[in-house]
Structure 1
């Protein structure tokens, strides 16, 4: 890939990460006071551009791109077992 294109991609991805953190703060969540957890495919992007130096309290990045699907699968299994008990 062209180095100039790569530079543009990294710059825009960093700007996106900063906008996302700003949106979180605008919603009233203080990521400086509580751990910030990023998970799933989008967390892979955040991993490169977010750190404790951004003022985040213990950022935890779970970048398994299947993590959301695994969580829903586990929830469905639990709900299925609960329905079988009743």
Structure 2
């Protein structure tokens, strides 16, 4: 790991009750490069749009689309290979 490298920490587990948890955090060693900060800004905007879309009666597909549309508009849709 070098200065400027982004580091993603993804941890989770299953409780005896069956509850599954997942926590992902992204850090940078020192100052993150400008291109990484730009990508991360798009992800933050997409996450905010997805949160704003969540309400009773809204389908999971619609919440996913709220995030995906922002990522696609920023030119990164082909890299978003999972669901929100």
- Larger helix proportion, structure 1 or 2? 1
Structure with the bigger RCO (C-alpha within 8 Å, sep 6+) is: 1
TM-score (norm 2): 0.38
TM-score (norm 1): 0.37
- Larger strand proportion, structure 1 or 2? 2
Rg larger in structure: 1
